[in-house]
Amino acid sequence: MELEAWHLLVLPLFFALGWAAARVDIRHLLRESRAVPASYFQGLNYLLNEQPDRAIEAFVEVAKVNADTLELHYALGALFRKRGEIDRAIRMHQNLVDRADLNQEQSLRALFELGLDYMKAGLLDRAEDIFKRLQDSPHALDARQNLLEIYVLEKEWQQAIAMAEELERSGLPAQNAETAHYHCELALNALLRQDTVAARANLNTALAKHRKSVRASIQLGELEAQAGDDAAAIAAWRQVESQNPAYLPIVADRLYQAYKRQGQAEQGLQLLKAYLERYPSADLFHIVFNVLVEHRGWGEARALAAEALKRTPSLRVLDDYLQARSAESEPGDLETRMAQDLVHRQVSRTSHYQCGRCGFKARQFFWQCPACAGWDSIAPEKAQHEQ
């Protein structure tokens, strides 16, 4: 490409414009750096030196000096909430809500953050009021999700069902497994009122919503058993195998007792043994062991335990085996009895159900974790946990 004469005239102009622009940018940058409070740089310095508490105080000072630092207010409020300093978070977000100089979008965001503060503080009524106000705002979807959580915490199951349906209409995936639990809770409430019709209707709705709802099948079986229809109860409980066989230990004893009431104890025992063969489980083994003791005596129960110990050694199976040995031993066999007592105490002390989400441990099985409120998060099989 040849350099023409007019290029020589234009090039100096471009250089001059570039130099002027650079001067303007440098001056603008210097003016901005002088406008930033020193507390801001102190906060950054504290963060770099891993002093988060002092950094937070420095940033709070920046927020006081410059009332226009909205993002800093939001960030600090969320940080206070995460650290458990709920009072400070509420004050910061309430101050933003009360400001008249914010536009609608900024005010709504501050209101949403305040609702989250109230939820964290356990002030559910206040949080509910805020999230209801936000249902027609850009925060509508998040507000409805928080309302659903509030209704579950408050055990307002009808409102929880309605909100879950509203969220589904909003485009979120259906929460059929959770909704089935809400209907199961309504069924329990109906049974407390001795309203078996409403209880049955809710359980059937739960299964229609979520055909793999083990809880609905178990509760439906209990309803049938209380009504004296053991055949229907057995049919309901046997559905658990196809829904989720991990829950068979929860339903196994109910199944056997129903067969027994029908005069079919042997058939019930064979069914449980078949389950144990297909789905090995220490909890299920313990139930089969006790049924064998009742139905056929200690000898056959001990033989079953000995075989199980060879396949899958377990402290809990050992406890059952030693119990059978102790029952068959001579009265003077103190060693066997002492060994069985020691193992039994250890098993009793360390066996718990545990939540896979938050680690909560309990001796009783829960469908909803009392600690984190997660549904189906507690494994239906006891595990050994050292104390």
Binding residues: 355, 358, 369, 372
Q: Under a CB-based contact definition with an 8 Å cutoff, are residues 127 and 144 in contact?
A: no
Annotated binding site for Fe cation: 355, 358, 369, 372
| 371-to-212, 324, 361 alpha-carbon distances in Å | 25, 38, 9
Q: Parallel, antiparallel, or unpaired: how do β-strands 383-384 and 351-354 relate?
A: antiparallel
Distance CA 317, CA 282 (A): 7
Residue from 329, 309, 307, 330 nearest 319 by CA? 309
DSSP string, 30-80: HHHHHHS-HHHHHHHHHHHTT-HHHHHHHHHHHHHH-TT-HHHHHHHHHHH
Q: In what order do the strands lie in the sheet with 383-384?
A: 361-362, 351-354, 383-384
Question: Which tokens hold the place of 149?
Answer: 């959580």
Distance CA 218, CA 239 (A): 9
What is the CB neighbour count within 10 angstroms for residue 216?
Answer: 27
Q: Under a CB-based contact definition with an 8 Å cutoff, are residues 319 and 307 in contact?
A: no
Per-residue buried b or exposed e for 15-48, using 16+ beta carbons within 10 Å of the residue's own CB: eeeeeeeeeeeeeeeeeeeeeebebbebbeebee
Amino acid at 280: P
Distance CA 310, CA 139 (A): 59
